[in-house]
Chains A and B, each alone.
Chain A
Amino acid sequence: MSTLNHPPENPDIRALKGRALSLRRKMLNMASGKGEGYIAQGLGMADCLAALYFHELRYDPADPRWQDRDRFLLSTGHYSIAMYAVLAEAGYLDETELPTYGLNGSRLPMSTFDDIPGVEIVGGSLGHGLGQAVGMAMALKVDGSPARVFCEFSDGELQEGSTWEAAMGAATFKCDNLVGLIDCNGIQADGPVTVKIDPVADKFTAFGWDTVEVNGNDMEALVSALANARKQDGRPKAIVMRTTPGFGVPTLMARERAHFVRVDNSEWDSLKAELEKENV
């Protein structure tokens, strides 16, 4: 059990890119069924999620509460479309459930809740993820568990003071079993990120984290950064990921207001066609 999904020596980058494409397809299908959604952020995160779930993380979909599983915390609950896609791809969810995304009575609402198999926390109230990841990392250390904790949070969330309380805590408690995955996509609800956030990497370095900055849509770079984050050197790890909202679908990549996408039914088909054309 403990070797389940343990990272192989030589990651198959081509296969991981294929997983990312599969995730993007799932997300577009979900968004088109609902007619709207946080699709741009999801498409931007697809490469990271593929690298995590099909290379780096140890988990068992048949036993979602396995005590020594690696934890992935999605702090930005509105990225749920990406979370459900990867949970289906990994075997936690039945793919036939995905079309219920965001519909009344669905188990898969537009923000994530932890009653869904494979979801660790209630996301959505921003600034909640990293602190809980620190707590999990601390508890796992107390128990001597080999499990690690991976927490996604966004550049927009860096405006929440609680994120910085947690960042200090992670270094104070030497959480080298914690990896922060900071999705810097440059957008938030009202448009571009409002507050001066950069230099993000320098800030985390100053807070005591071992930090690298990568193109978050470059699979080789992501896999390499994740490998570096396995170091047990007393420091929490931060991977600052520069992602492009809507990555893989040029019309969405060019869209000025990408935080929440609502388009006509006919347009979803053309967006799906763009994805396939990009990945020929």
Chain B
Amino acid sequence: MSEALQAVGRTRGMGELIDVEGKVTEIAPFGRTLAELAHERPEIVGLTADMGRYSDILPFRDAHPNRFFNVGMAEQNLIMIAAGMSKAGKIAYCTTYSVFITRRAYDFVSIACAHSMANVKIFAGMPGLVNGYGATHQATEDINMMRGIADLTIIDPCDATELKQVVRAVADIPGTVYVRSLRGKVPVELGSDYQFEVGKAKVIREGRDVGVISTGYMSARARDAADAAAGQGVDAAVLHVSTIKPFDKETVLSFAQRFDRLIVAENHKTTGGLATLVVEALYEAGIMKPLIKIGLADSFFECGSQEYLEAKYQVDLPHFMRAIVEGR
């Protein structure tokens, strides 16, 4: 049997993370937190474009049926309706897959929402390489696209702990927010003392030898890799950059200056995302250091199990280990 036909990994719920084995997880932290928050904030409404189940918003629907709207398979309309509701006084949380928000409804996010500082909070499902359905469902360039929209806040949470804080925080962040959401059984990776702050990068693991700058759930993988690498004599620190925009350049630069070599990791192409932001910031500050990018190539990606795809595209734990320990 050829490598391409080997049965590696199993099918999971659409867009669920694979880093769950042996870890504490929470079910549907987005929808459950939103349902709670909406009891306190009557101006919150929830919308989806036929992706209620696969975005985890159903707990909100069940708790607040009169404030939940499924607009059908019409992502442009989802964003227009959310913008209109916000302009009539609502905070509109809306959900579908990242690919459909970014590729199909871009003009509407930009003009109907961001330009008006509309109170629209987009929780975009399946960002990056978190499903095996191929390029149609893999939003591997969404950060690159959304960074181009002025006045848009972009957040890539690491885990259930942070996602729950983000659900609450965005209600008070002015304007439109794009969140790379996590669904299903979402691991609890960050300590109970972790506190999300919009626009602030946080060190989630200290170290002396290598500086890893990462975002999204790749920050948890970076920390796992760093823990494992410590047994091989390399002590890596991890800076988690959960807010992509506005970009916390100051913290990234001061972190980068502490290390002889750097790694940037993201669940996204290595072009146009975090790595590009970091390299731009370093170059402008005159900081030249060896830097390895862990992320996806500029390509479309095939179908397959998550384990198979992550190994094939070199974003799995062994590749993190190699980058940290061997510097390649």
Interface of chain A residues 133 through 157 with chain B (CB within 8 A): 133-140, 142-143
B89 and A132: CB pair below 8 A? no
Closest to B82 in A: A135
Closest to A123 in B: B111
Bound Cα distance A138, B88 (Å): 9
- Asked if B108 CB lies within 8 Å of chain A CBs, one says yes
Minimal beta-carbon separation of B180 from chain A (angstroms): 24
B84 and A131: CB pair below 8 A? yes
A121 and B116: CB pair below 8 A? yes
Interface size on A, residues (CB 8 A): 32
Known: A131-B80, A135-B80, A136-B84. A142 touches B66 (CB 8 A): yes
Minimal beta-carbon separation of A150 from chain B (angstroms): 13
Minimal beta-carbon separation of A111 from chain B (angstroms): 11
B45 and A121: CB pair below 8 A? no
B115 and A143: CB pair below 8 A? no
B81 and A135: CB pair below 8 A? yes
Bound Cα distance A125, B79 (Å): 14
Contact segment of A7-15, A23-31, A158-166, A260-268: A158-166
Partner of B45, one of A120, A131, A142, A162: A142
B111 and A128: CB pair below 8 A? yes
Bound Cα distance A120, B88 (Å): 10
Known: A135-B87, A139-B45, A139-B89. A121 touches B112 (CB 8 A): yes
User: Cβ of A130: which chain B residues have Cβ within 8 Å of it?
Assistant: 80
The listed residue with most B CB atoms (<10 A of its CB), out of A120, A138, A140, A143, is A138
- Asked if B271 CB lies within 8 Å of chain A CBs, one says no
The listed residue with most B CB atoms (<10 A of its CB), out of A125, A132, A136, A161, is A132
Interface size on B, residues (CB 8 A): 28
Bound Cα distance A143, B89 (Å): 10
- Asked if A214 CB lies within 8 Å of chain B CBs, one says no
A136 and B74: CB pair below 8 A? no
Minimal beta-carbon separation of B77 from chain A (angstroms): 4
Interface of chain B residues 81 through 103 with chain A (CB within 8 A): 81-90, 92
A135 and B74: CB pair below 8 A? no
Minimal beta-carbon separation of B212 from chain A (angstroms): 40
- Asked if B67 CB lies within 8 Å of chain A CBs, one says yes
The listed residue with most B CB atoms (<10 A of its CB), out of A114, A121, A135, A173, is A135
B81 and A132: CB pair below 8 A? yes
Known: A125-B107, A128-B108. A139 touches B88 (CB 8 A): yes
Minimal beta-carbon separation of B108 from chain A (angstroms): 7
Interface of chain B residues 26 through 77 with chain A (CB within 8 A): 45, 66-67, 69, 71-72, 74, 76-77
A169 and B74: CB pair below 8 A? yes
B72 and A133: CB pair below 8 A? no
Known: A135-B88, A139-B85, A172-B72. A128 touches B112 (CB 8 A): yes
- Asked if A122 CB lies within 8 Å of chain B CBs, one says yes
Bound Cα distance A172, B84 (Å): 16
Minimal beta-carbon separation of B267 from chain A (angstroms): 30
Minimal beta-carbon separation of A63 from chain B (angstroms): 15
Known: A67-B89, A139-B89. A134 touches B84 (CB 8 A): yes
Partner of A135, one of B67, B72, B76, B84: B84
Minimal beta-carbon separation of A172 from chain B (angstroms): 7
Partner of B116, one of A71, A122, A138, A142: A122
Minimal beta-carbon separation of A209 from chain B (angstroms): 15
Partner of A136, one of B67, B71, B72, B85: B85
B90 and A139: CB pair below 8 A? yes
Minimal beta-carbon separation of A157 from chain B (angstroms): 13
Minimal beta-carbon separation of B105 from chain A (angstroms): 9
Minimal beta-carbon separation of B227 from chain A (angstroms): 47
User: Cβ of A136: which chain B residues have Cβ within 8 Å of it?
Assistant: 84-85, 87-88
Interface string of B116-142 (1 = CB under 8 A from A): 100000000000000000000000000
Partner of B77, one of A113, A114, A120, A169: A169
Minimal beta-carbon separation of A168 from chain B (angstroms): 7
Closest to B73 in A: A165
- Return the 3 tightest CB-CB contacts between A and B, nearest first: A135-B84, A131-B80, A139-B88
Beyond contacts A131-B112, A139-B90: 13 other A-B pairs, Cβ-Cβ < 8 A, are A121-B87, A121-B112, A122-B115, A125-B107, A128-B107, A128-B112, A130-B80, A132-B83, A138-B69, A139-B85, A142-B66, A169-B81, A173-B69
28 A/B residue pairs, CB under 8 Å, sorted by A: A67-B89, A114-B116, A121-B112, A122-B111, A128-B107, A128-B108, A131-B76, A131-B108, A132-B81, A133-B84, A134-B77, A134-B84, A135-B84, A137-B84, A139-B88, A139-B90, A140-B88, A142-B66, A142-B90, A143-B88, A143-B89, A161-B76, A165-B80, A168-B74, A168-B77, A169-B77, A172-B71, A173-B69
